[in-house]
Structure 1
Amino acid sequence: MDTKEPVRSEPSRRLLLAGALPAAAGALGVVGLTAGPASAETKSPVPRRRPLSPSPSPSPVLKEKTRAKFPADLETAGVAELAGLLDSGRITSVQLTREYLRRIGALDVQGPGLNTVRSLNPNALKEAGEADARRRRSRHNSPLLGIPVLLKDNIDAVGMPTTAGSVALKDSHPDKDAPLVALLRSAGAVILGKANLTEFANYLTNGMPGGYSSLGGQVLNVYDVSQTPSGSSAGPGAAASVGLATLTIGTETSGSILSPAAANSDVGVKPTVGLISRTGIVPIAASQDTAGPLVRTVADAAALLTVVTGEDPEDSATAANPLVGHDFSRDLSPTALRGARIGVVASQVPAAGTDNRTLWDAALAVLTARGATLVSVTLSTSSSIPGGSSVLSYEFKRDLNTYLARLPRNAPAKTLADVVAYNNAHSGRALKFGQVLATASQAMDLSPGSADSAKYLADRAQDLADSKDRIDALMADQNLTTLLFANSGSAGIGAKAGYPSVSVPAGYQAANRRPFNIAFLGKAWSEPVLLGYAYDYEQASQLRQPPSALNPSLFDNVGL
């Protein structure tokens, strides 16, 4: 879920590398933060230098007297470029991983203190070395071999805690990888670490700033630290944008990929529910939850989706997936928009005279020039349920209890009730913004035949009528291949339908360099079509600019 306003914060998480990493870490030393409660204000965040733990020395920046220039600009380099360098032997995965760790030290821990990374994988360099050995041993067909990936800190990966940003789960260590992580490891990707997020993916309380958690503190926006990085996948979104990993993975229930994509000028893919297994991911609501890429280019999104798409016997939604084994990179065509019929949702058109309207009109001109037919359409994205749907509140208790019950016996919490009780007992740190959503969910009566269960079933049916049925009818009536939205406008209706959206950068506001995206929404399993449209638009427009181009002061005196 998305939130809007950032908050000023002190560091409140510990990010450890040295000692846990193999000796190959060498001069990397310690990358760490002291833990302490974050202070709340309603003003925008201001970057502060984070004190290192256990001491300011050694620096997280590599300390060679002479360090050769790395042969790729990691702020912009994608999978294809880095895979080419790895295959040619110009770099190794160990070198690449070290370089990302150096960037994390310079930008995330020190320098502007972006605070995007919650924890680092203590085995990252070991995994990189194994990828290098695999590359030397034999030919391979994995585009992600040796490529570093950051995971949102609600995705299980053995060797790191899965905290969802909650102090109640700070010592929650899964005993198995989420299936999507297992697929990444099988492809030879390097799990670099876990990225910060809005706590419990923004389903702890109302009014929590995007990118804030009691355990992780506040993520900053890389284009303007006074603006929100949005949420809940703020850490993956900001880290991807500024090049702290080649690829990042976020999750979405309603807007948590699409909104950070727009805020951080990323390509974000919110897949069809069931395209990627949800097992091993801290949930909000199974009917809407999905993981998905937050990356810099459509090509990188396609490469990542190709690896993590799969069927999981523990996730029934994946049984209907017709795209298992599909190579999404083959869908990327510079002529994909030719013949497309795009429904331009009238309510999404920005107000006349604004920067966003100028950017929107320019995007429409590109789509038309690429051969698409634009059709103005009316689509209500609002709920018809008086007082709003109970679906998320009901499913949060049901699905979080299921997730927590599967954790090892010594897990710090086994039910939502445990989390609520822990937070109440540690309110000074855990409840800066309260836990009204968690408390309301805990009060739900999940027993069959209860009033809450009856309302839930009715609300879920109405949610589908308000979303899936409306979209299907409109697209059929107008013979549309996609619907077009501004920024994260497709989030709510697409989430309830379980339908995919692809968000792509479409420029920056002249007044304040704030990013602007457009998003293509389609019916279930239409990712190949949507990615093709996004790629054609991206290649024709070439509008994305890295943070260093629009916010160069972010990089002052960081040693990169």
Structure 2
Amino acid sequence: MEITQKKRYIDVLTATAADLCRLLEAGQTTSVNIVEAYLAQIEKHNKTGLGLRAIISTAPRDTVLSRATKLDTERLNGKIRSGLHGIPIIIKDAIVTSKALGMPTTAGAFAFKETYGKKNAAIVKLLIQSGLIIIGKASMTEFCGLKATFGGFRKDDLFCGRSGPGGSSSGSGVGVSAGFAPLSIGTETGGSIYGLFSLSRSFDGLGGMAKTVEDLEMLMNLLLSDQAREAQSLKWEDISIGFVDPIVWNAFGFQNFPDEGVEKQILDGYEWARAQLAQRGAKIAYPVKLPLMKDLNYDGKSVSHLVSFFEFPRQFEKFCEELQNAEVSSVQELIEFNNKNAGRAMPEPHTDQADLIQTLESTMTDETASAVKAQGKLLAGSQGIDAALAKNEIDLIIGPGDCEICAVAALAGYPKAMVPMSRLEGPVGLGQPQGLMIIGGAGSERKMFEFMKLWKEVIGTWKVPPLLETADREKLG
């Protein structure tokens, strides 16, 4: 059965996945039309135009348009795979994809520039089964930050950009903000997931990114347990929130150099957020005390560092086993490959392999590693986050967007989320987004979603980043 393609202008900078779903359900557009709009935006601003370099590889045009046509036909025949049927998505390039999708799996490394997975990761299979269309693999810090320096995607990087403004999942975040896709999947230190490159078996996991909580909820409902998906309808007076001290938690740690104006904006914004919640009826506790990362130790050494560096070589070997004809199969081979191909694999200023080398020097045994992980979970979980929640009689804990409370949640194995707040102004602020980091106890995902919905009342609708707002928009249709 043929479909008459309905050309409609899609404003990729403002359209949400929910908007697109409503248009599809009403027969006012097609998945083919939607995919074409996002592919055009990637072509316009990824490596050319603004040169955002958020996407390492884009799926072959014929492949994704063929899939979009198939999904349009299914919709026409009454087959709807999920609420996100026919919606484009990008995924972090730590997630393994087969050659059938036409995109290599690199983990941000030159050694895997043209390497494909033997099969799709479980999350990829789930997305495909649910009717989403994977149109690109997002840029990332090399090996989730183990061999990289932070500071933004550089145009003179020879491959994909070795670092990003928001950590290893920068490409996933920038991609959504830039209108390269309405949804994306990134990774963060959380739980163990099959089928992706992970710095640590114990701490790494998947997370969604979107312009709105409605979109994020639709995406994460595909991944979460039935209990976490159970809907609640909460009011401000139903939520109790604790705030950590931004000075104690080094809210300014991202700065290359101190700036009083920027620091004042961060503190003022944080105080404004706390006041907004209190004015609306939420119970507020301040300051909430949590163990600092420097205190989460085993025999005087960082739990996170000990476990991650111990587990990395095995995780790397497992990752290589999931790839077809990989150039290397161990950390030692990777180090040697990088040395032989230094011009491409280690461009300035990313010439240091000290961390990779250090992963081979761990003397821990499996038994000791288990003890270290148990210690971290105890200190961060029951004696840390759980104790703080109970002592202050709160549901969730909030910190500045650039602080380490997310790392505490990772050690505990607890969920975390981020909501937008404002942008830093002035010649030093440069419009950098500021958000709030949210953590909670085990099983607090639903409560986080309800808080995000309430938070939307405070900050309003999605705002296009200034850089893209001033760029020319290509009208399709």
Alpha-carbon distance in 2 for matches of 1:238, 1:135: 30
Could you say which residue in structure 1 is the equivalent of 2:178? 242
CA offsets 1:414-471 (integer angstroms, 9 cap, x no match): 22222222112111221232221111112335xxxxx455653443233223311311
What fraction of aligned residue pairs are identical, expressed as a percent? 28
More helix by share: 2
- Per-residue displacement from partner, 1:467-525 (whole Å, max 9, x unpaired)? 11311112122222111111042222111111111110111223333211012210122
Deviates more, 1:526-535 or 1:458-467: 458-467
User: 1:41-120, aligned counterparts within 5 Å?
Assistant: 70=9, 72-120=10-58
CA distance in 1, matches of 2:359, 2:223: 31
What is the CA-CA distance between 1:296 and the residue it aligns to?
1.1
Task: Look up the equivalent residue of 2:271 and give its one-letter code.
Answer: D
Q: What SS does structure 1 have at the residue aligned with 2:456?
A: helix
Matched to 2:105, the amino acid is T
Corresponding residue of 2:236: 337
Question: Hey, what does 1:132 align to over in structure 2?
Answer: 72
Runs of at least 5 residues in structure 2 that lack an aligned partner in the other structure:
253-259
Q: 1:238 to 1:416 in 2, by over 3 A?
A: same
Unaligned runs of 5+ in 1: 1-23, 25-66, 220-227, 254-271, 310-322, 446-450
551 and 214 in structure 1: CA distance in 2 versus 1, 3 angstrom threshold: closer
Q: Is the 8 A contact 1:156 1:281 kept in 2?
A: yes
Quick one: which amino acid aligns to residue 459 of structure 2? S
Give the letter for the 2:179 counterpart.
Answer: G
Q: Following superposition of structure 1 onto structure 2, how do residues 339-418 of structure 1 map, counting pairs within 5 Å? A: 339-346=238-245, 347-348=248-249, 354-376=264-286, 377-384=288-295, 385=297, 386-389=300-303, 390-408=306-324, 410-418=325-333
2:207 is matched with 292
Inter-partner Cα distance in structure 1 for 2:285 and 2:321:
49
| Letter in structure 2 aligned against 1:193 | G
- The RMSD of aligned alpha carbons is 2.6
- State the secondary structure of the residue aligned to 2:197: coil
* 4+ residue runs over 4 A deviation: 210-214, 348-353, 451-455, 556-560
Letter of the 1:103 partner, please give it: Q
CA–CA separation in structure 1 for the residues paired with 2:152 and 2:238: 38
Structure 2 CA distance, aligned partners of 1:466 and 1:387? Answer: 14
Query: What are the within-5 Å matches in structure 2 for residues 536-551 of structure 1?
Result: 536-542=454-460, 544-547=462-465, 550-551=466-467
How much does 1:528 deviate? 0.5
Residue 480 of structure 1 corresponds to: 394
Could you tell me the TM-score, scaled by structure 1's length? 0.73
Q: Return the offset for 1:350.
A: 5.8
> In structure 1, what residue type is equivalent to 2:243?
V
The range that moved more, 81-90 or 461-470, is: 461-470
Distance 1:210 1:454, change over 3 A: farther
How do 1:445-524 residues align onto structure 2 when only pairs under 5 Å count?
445=363, 451=364, 453=366, 456-468=369-381, 469-489=383-403, 490-511=405-426, 512=429, 513-524=431-442
Indicate conservation of the 8 Å contact 1:166/1:214, yes or no. no
- 8 Å CA contact 2:320–2:329 kept in 1: the answer is yes
Alignment of 1:271-350 (within 5 A): 273=191, 278-309=193-224, 323-324=225-226, 327=229, 330-331=231-232, 333=233, 335-346=234-245, 347-348=248-249
Judging changes above 3 Å, is the alpha-carbon distance between structure 1 residues 306 and 198 closer, same or farther for their aligned structure 2 residues? same
* Cα drift, residue 540 of structure 1: 3.2
Paired residue secondary structure (1:546): coil
Letter matched to residue 137 of structure 2: K
- Aligned residue type for 1:341: S
For 2:390, give the aligned amino acid.
A
Letter in 1 for 2:314: R
Cα deviation, residue 531, structure 1: 1.1
1:420 is aligned with what amino acid? I
Whether the aligned pair in 1 keeps the contact of 2:15 and 2:182 (CA below 8 Å) is: yes
Give the secondary-structure state (helix, strand or coil) at the position aligned to 2:137.
strand
Instruction: Judge conservation of contact 2:151–2:165 (CA < 8 Å) in 1.
Output: no
- Alpha-carbon distance between aligned partners in 1 of 2:371 and 2:239, rounded to the nearest angstrom: 36
Distance 2:226 2:392 in 1: 30
Partner Cα distance (1:435, 1:506) in 2: 37
How has the CA–CA distance of structure 1 residues 423 and 77 changed in structure 2, closer, same or farther, with 3 Å as cutoff? Answer: same
Cα–Cα, structure 1 residues 243 and 119, in superposed 2: closer, same or farther, change >3 Å? same
